[in-house]
Amino acid sequence: MCGIMGYIGERQAVPVLLDGLRRLEYRGYDSAGVAVMNGGAIAVRKAAGKLARLAEIVEGAPLVGVVGIGHTRWATHGHPSDENAHPHADCRGRIVVIHNGIIENFLALKEDLVARGHRFRSDTDTEVLAHLIEDTYEGDLPAAVARACAAARGAYALVVLCADEHDKIVAVRMISPLIVGLGRGETWLASDIPALLPYTRDVIVIEDGEMAVITRSGASISRLGGAAVSRAPMRVTWDADAAEKGGYAHFMLKEIHEQPRALQETLMGRLPGERDVALDGVALAPEAARALEKVWLLACGTAYHAGLVGRRLLERLARIPAEPDLASEFRYRDPLAGARHLAVAISQSGETADTIAAAREARARGARTLAIANVVGSTLAREADDVLYTRAGPEIAVCSTKAYLAQLVALALLALHLGRQRGVLGGAQAAELIRGLRALPAHARAALDLEARVIEVAERIREVEDVFFIGRGLDYPVAMEGSLKFKEISYVHSEALAAGELKHGTLALITPGVIVVALATQPEVLDKLVSNIQQVRARGAEVIGLATTATAPALGPHVDTLLAVPPAAPLLAPVLSVIPLQLLAYHVARLRGNDVDQPRNLAKSVTVE
């Protein structure tokens, strides 16, 4: 998620903009820039890299002015580079924009604008907005911005300067956050509260579909359709640290709660119709897809667990053999990877040494490589033949949550896409799954509502010594992910197993008081799972059941605690069932006083073997 800053008042704008952007650095970014109103023109300084580089550039070529906007970019379209950094200008440099989010239909808009003579300098979706406003500008900036927003589709926060209207800044919110800070004779804009705290605690949150015209005397807010909106300012009482976490105690909890949005943004623009998928960045041709004989899924840790789910999606929807393998194992096993194989490397950071090496090994043996990565321009993404970006935004906590959910959805999109290309997935089945994908953000929000119940469970088991996670079918990889979450931040020993394996050894460890988390979202194996639950309960285990509202009635009588997530299609249930497990791991770790965001011995990205 990009950082946005705006200022209009009596101070020199640049120091205010840079200071605000520095307070948003925790959000992660790859380039930065500022634009300042300067004597009837707009001066821009921008560059790839960190704010320190931008500050050097500005020091060498100072900007004078009391009205300006600033931006730190987390790339979604267009690699990190000087020309792709924001702000972006129209053809004449008279209209300058910064933007946070995604313009879904930017390619079509850009083609039309180019056909009408507009000259583009970058390959970002954002620049389209500057030219759209220029195209309809007739001396009324708010009106021109409204017309541009009517043409653009997607999720965004947009901030606009116009050299012909130097006494205002115009901003629009369409999903991505935007906040006004109010002062005496000065007004601020920011994408998040921490940037405003040194200047003001009086803020107005701009809501979706609203425009704000910012002047020295404050902000006038209206619906994009025109109706004025009256909204009282609110007083922020958070300190800066809490503000960075959006009021949550830890980044991990904030990112768990950002998951509905991460799903929404990862799906955005990729479900254009009812039966097919549009995968930007994946150039695999239909005939190559039909010729594929195998898919490898290479990853580490949580990303590997996503790969385990991906296998079942690919085999079920694309009818192609799929083999997940730990990247650290794949590279040393003389793998039988070959020319008609697709190696899917999954990685949040795109910098995990083992995963990069495994992808290189697969490519060296003739396989085509496809990266599922969360960081645009990361090593894995740059080296792969195809890239399918998860758009979860920066993931700060070491413990991966929202990126994992976005990986699952990316794998579902890939399986759908390959199934349709290979002619093995019918339109009706594809349509049903696409409806299920579209419902996921809302279902994820409903799953988050289980948090109060999960906290009760966490308080009861906070001193536990051993936890077992069991599941069958698609619930088994989710059990593995739940176990990893639990041990990596609560420091409590935990293990996951295929429920059918209990009687082959692990049952010897089930004694009175042991906690067993039983996942039961898959109807076709529900009866077998229930009998596994009876086996462990007969030996004194306390069983926490995790079902969907569809499987809950059958599971309820057999468990001590029942948690039920919304009834997603069984193939998509892993996207939802993991949410209560993330929350359980988080709250047990919190109650045990652990450093949740930076668990001992672990790093966010393991860039060494």
Q: CB 358 → ligand AGP: shortest distance, Å?
A: 11
Q: Is 301 in the site for ligand AGP (CB under 6 A)?
A: yes
Q: How far is the CB of 606 from ligand AGP (least distance, A)?
A: 5
Among 84, 191, 352, 582, contact with ligand AGP (rule: CB under 6 A): 352
- Please tell me whether residue 399 binds ligand AGP under the rule CB under 6 A: yes
Stretch of 96-104, 174-182, 347-355, 502-510 contacting ligand AGP, by CB under 6 A: 347-355
- Residue 598 is a binding residue for ligand AGP (CB under 6 A): no
CA distance 103 to 83: 18
Looking up tokens 């926060």 gives: 157
Burial 287-307 (b: 16+ CB within 10 A, else e): eebeebebbbbbbbbbbbbbb
Stretch that binds ligand AGP, among 175-183, 358-366, 397-405, 550-558 (CB under 6 A): 397-405
**Stretch of 205-213, 342-350, 444-452, 555-563 contacting ligand AGP, by CB under 6 A:** 342-350
- DSSP character for 206? P
Q: Are 141 and 162 in contact (CB under 8 A)?
A: yes
Q: What angle do helix axes 451-461 and 573-591 make, rounded to 10 degrees?
A: 50
3 is a site residue for ligand AGP (CB under 6 A): no
41 bridge partner residues: 38
Amino acid identity, position 352 = T
Among candidate residues 2, 149, 162, 399, the one labeled active-site is: 2
Show the binding pattern over residues 161-200: x = contacts ligand AGP (CB under 6 A), - = does not. Answer: ----------------------------------------
Smallest distance, Å, CB 414 to ligand AGP?
16
Yes or no: say if 369 and 379 are a contact pair by the CB < 8 Å rule.
Answer: no
8 Å CB contact between 565 and 582: no
Give the count of residues interacting with ligand AGP (CB under 6 A). 15
The site string for ligand AGP over 223-242 (x = CB under 6 A, - otherwise) reads --------------------
Buried b (16+ CB within 10 A) or exposed e, 74-98: bbbbbbbbebbbbbbbbbeebbbbb
Q: Is 398 in the site for ligand AGP (CB under 6 A)?
A: yes
Residue 348 touching ligand AGP (CB under 6 A): yes
Choice between 215 and 594, CB closer to ligand AGP = 594
- Reported as half-sphere exposure (CB side, CA atoms, 13 A), residue 215 has a value of 8
Comparing every residue's Cβ against ligand AGP, the nearest one is 301
Contact between 606 and ligand AGP (CB under 6 A)?
yes
**Between 400 and 419, how does the x/- string for binding to ligand AGP read (CB under 6 A)?**
x-------------------
By the 8 A CB rule, do 521 and 545 touch? Answer: no
Q: Could you count the other beta carbons within 10 Å of the beta carbon of residue 504?
A: 9
Distance, CA of 165 to CA of 132 (rounded, Å): 17
Q: Identify the active-site residue in 50, 294, 528, 604.
A: 604
Length, in residues, of the chain: 609
Q: Is 347 in the site for ligand AGP (CB under 6 A)?
A: yes
Classify residue 423 as exposed, middle or buried by CB count within 10 Å of its CB (0-12, 13-18, 19+).
Answer: exposed
- Told to check if 303 binds ligand AGP by CB under 6 A, we report yes
Q: Which residue lies nearer to ligand AGP by CB, 400 or 522? A: 400
The count of other CB atoms within 10 Å of the CB of residue 112 is 15
577 binds ligand AGP (CB under 6 A): no
Q: Residue from 81, 122, 355, 532 that binds ligand AGP (CB under 6 A)?
A: 355
Strand partners, 96: 89, 161
The verdict on 369 binding ligand AGP (CB under 6 A) reads no
Does the protein bind ligand AGP through residue 605 (CB under 6 A)?
yes
CB 268 within 8 A of CB 278: no
Both structure tokens of 223: 């619906």
What is the enclosing helix (H) or strand (E) of 74?
none
Judged by CB under 6 A, the stretch of 107-115, 219-227, 344-352, 451-459 that binds ligand AGP is: 344-352
One residue of 38, 124, 349, 521 binding ligand AGP per CB under 6 A:
349
Residue type, 149: C
Gap between the Cα atoms of 497 and 527, Å rounded: 17
Instruction: Choose among 411, 335, 338: nearest CA to 373.
Output: 411
Tell me whether strands 386-389 and 179-182 are parallel, antiparallel or unpaired: unpaired
Q: Which stretch binds ligand AGP (CB under 6 A): 14-22, 252-260, 346-354, 515-523?
A: 346-354
> Stretches 165-173, 281-289, 345-353, 564-572: which one binds ligand AGP (CB under 6 A)?
345-353
Considering the complex, what minimum distance in angstroms separates the CB of residue 305 from ligand AGP? Answer: 8
Q: What whole-number distance in Å separates Cα of residue 130 and Cα of residue 120?
A: 10
Q: Are 179 and 193 in contact (CB under 8 A)?
A: yes
For ligand AGP, the closer of residues 71 and 391 by Cβ is 391
Report which of 340, 334, 339 is spatially closest to residue 320, judged by C-alpha positions: 340
- Tell me if residue 2 is catalytic: yes
Give me the least distance between CB of 522 and ligand AGP, in Å please.
24
Q: Judged by CB under 6 A, which stretch of 56-64, 243-251, 299-307, 309-317 contacts ligand AGP?
A: 299-307
Spatial contact of 72 and 2, defined as CB atoms under 8 Å apart: yes
Q: Is residue 542 a contact partner of residue 513, using CB atoms and an 8 Å limit?
A: yes
CB of 173 to ligand AGP, least distance (A): 31
- Interacting positions 435-494 with ligand AGP (CB under 6 A): 488
Q: What are the catalytic residues?
A: 2, 604
Using CB under 6 A, list all residues that contact ligand AGP. 300-303, 347-349, 352, 355, 398-400, 488, 605-606
